[in-house]
Chain A
């Protein structure tokens, strides 16, 4: 059997990796993917706690998280497409309309 603490540590590591990726990368699509990584790390933590408390509620929550992530990905990608159409770039530094 695997000690559940390993899963938690893994979840933390994945989350941090996702956060770092978000800051380091400069193109929007990869940044978005990093967000998905962070979501998954959270999902892992939820399932771990569901097993530890023998409660199925954790899994239900993950179910909903996955669903919402799907919807968010759809809309987010649509927006990225629009931005590309307008500005012909997906560099995040070029989107500075809200400056100041």
Chain B
């Protein structure tokens, strides 16, 4: 059952990312991405990380992508942009892709064997995460909150329309 779910999610995810690459319309790209993020949430759930899965859906697929869509709507381009015309760049990108894949898999090869199925204990409960956040990782937690405020203020200041003098 889990295997079937996994492969289904995997195919959908990769398909939507590919769709994002191929499509020329930014709104379509955003929607494809939302689908991909939803699949990611599924993966996290499969991996015994329920809290993170939900966070992923709420924040990534929910908040961040909505931001994207807002901006896309605001920019309001009539026509999309065609992708790279020059064939040379395409081949170059494909070449890099192959190289990178090979490298990454080679890197992870060492980790494959002990990783057959992973640990038995269920570890991803919100209780555990919450406890860790407020004890061991308190410092990064607080800093992240400052970071969010900074980003907030920054974004607002950046986009504020100047009053016409």
Binary A-proximity of B86-104 (CB < 8 A = 1, otherwise 0): 0001101110110011001
Interface residues of A in 45-100 (CB under 8 A from B): 47-57, 59-60, 62-64, 66-75, 77-82, 84, 90-91
Q: Which of B14, B48, B129, B147 contacts A63 (CB 8 A)?
A: B129
Q: How distant is B18 from chain A, measured CB to nearest CB, in Å?
A: 7
Contacts of A2 in B (CB 8 A): 2-3, 6, 46, 117
Q: Cβ of A47 and Cβ of B52 under 8 Å apart? A: yes
Bound-state CA distance A19–B94 (Å) is: 10
* Chain A residues whose C-beta falls within 8 Å of the C-beta of B14 in the assembled complex: 10, 13-14, 17
CB–CB B100/A16 < 8 A: yes
Instruction: Answer whether residue B163 sits at the interface, using C-beta atoms and an 8 A cutoff.
Output: no
**Known interface pairs A4-B115, A8-B115, A19-B97; A51-B47 also in contact (CB < 8 Å):** yes
| CB <8 Å contact, A56 and B128 | yes
A40–B124 Cα distance when bound, in Å, is 18
CB distance from B3 to the nearest CB of A (A): 6
Q: Would you call A51 and B119 a contact (CB within 8 A)?
A: yes
Residues of chain A contacted by B92 (CB below 8 angstroms)? 23
> How many pairs of A and B residues are in contact by the CB < 8 Å rule?
235
**13 chain-A/chain-B pairs, Cβ below 8 angstroms:** A1-B2, A1-B117, A24-B90, A30-B20, A47-B49, A52-B118, A56-B124, A59-B51, A59-B129, A64-B144, A66-B60, A71-B148, A75-B158
Give residues in B with beta carbon < 8 Å to A: 2-3, 6, 10, 13-14, 17-18, 20-21, 26, 29-30, 33, 36-37, 40, 43-44, 46-49, 51-52, 55-56, 59-60, 63-64, 67-68, 70-72, 74-75, 77, 80-84, 89-90, 92-94, 96-97, 100-101, 104-105, 108, 111-112, 114-121, 123-124, 128-129, 132-133, 137, 140, 144, 147-148, 150-152, 154-155, 158-159
